[in-house]
Amino acid sequence: MKVLIIGGAGMVGRKLAERLAKDGALAGKAISKLTLYDVVPGVVPEGAQAPVAILTGDLPAAGEADKLLADRPDVIFHLAAIVSGEAEQDFDKGYRINMDGTRSLLEAVRKAGHKPRLVFASSIAVFGAPFPDAIGDEFFNTPLTSYGTQKNICELLITDYSRKGFVDGIGIRLPTVCVRPGKPNKAASGFFSNIMREPLAGADAVLPVSESVMHWHASPRAAVGFMQHAASLDLAKLGWRRAITMPGLAVTVGEQIAALRKVAGDRVVARIRRVPDPFVETIVAGWPRNFAPKRAIALGFKADASFEEIIRIHIEDELGGKIA
């Protein structure tokens, strides 16, 4: 089986590649080749049991997606995107990368003609207010950000290309992935990770919103599990509703901080500074807070057990089990 990860140098892409390299198989089939594609070079995972190709390029550019499909990958994970805050501030860039890049990929798949499995990383940003207490599987999509609109368009494209028999695609709406390792990015949701990651590493962090803000979270480990499960799922069970909301945890910022205090103590929590940011507050106000993802749970997708578990996963996977 040949596997292509678009966005393979990103955080989730890197962790997915590491998991696949460790397992050596996907959906019960041995991986014969793993290709990591991004705008910057990815890293060959340690212990890879199959050849790993590292490619760079600009996905929306003419002919670029055709090059990726020349190898006829059996499974494609499409994780590449301009993040929420940047997509909102740079309208043209957001549509070029998030929408045009996906359309270019789907057209290349159609021309290649071998109908691969496509797992698309969508987002809960496809939903817009007003929200019920918990968003169910029948709730309509009315995104209130450019990023959410772009992801919603891509979901519809993937469903239509699947219906026409060009691809076997699924869009999985990821919760906000927390705690993200590495440096802060331009995602408006970045502070959810920052207020955990930096204090655990011995640095100060800025909280730009109220502690009453509630959001939907999953750990990087859970996100990778979602990807693997989506690649092996019998998509006939979805019918032509090929976009599905992933399970997660609905917690307030205050509950995040309480979990951090329980795991790491007051000394670590004291490193969080409250500095309100109206731009971030406005974006976050239009985001969904809680879900009832019955379809995903019935199909076997599994979330983290608690936010404390999410913090402990970060400490184990990124900090060597130690808190600064």
Residues involved in catalysis? 147
CA distance 46 to 48: 6
Q: Three-state SS string across 164-189, please?
A: CCCCEEEEEEECEECCCCCCCCCCCC
Structure tokens at 187: 């995602």
CA distance 221 to 125: 21
HSE-CB at 166 with a 13 A cutoff on CA atoms is 16
Instruction: Label residue 94 exposed, middle or buried (CB < 10 Å: 0-12, 13-18, 19+).
Output: buried
294 touches 242 (CB < 8 A)? no
Pairing of strands 33-38, 52-56: parallel
Q: Among 185, 209, 90, which Cα is nearest to 146's?
A: 90
* Residue-wise burial string across 97-125, b where 16 or more C-beta atoms lie within 10 A, e elsewhere: bbbebbebbbbbbeebeebbbbbbbbbbb
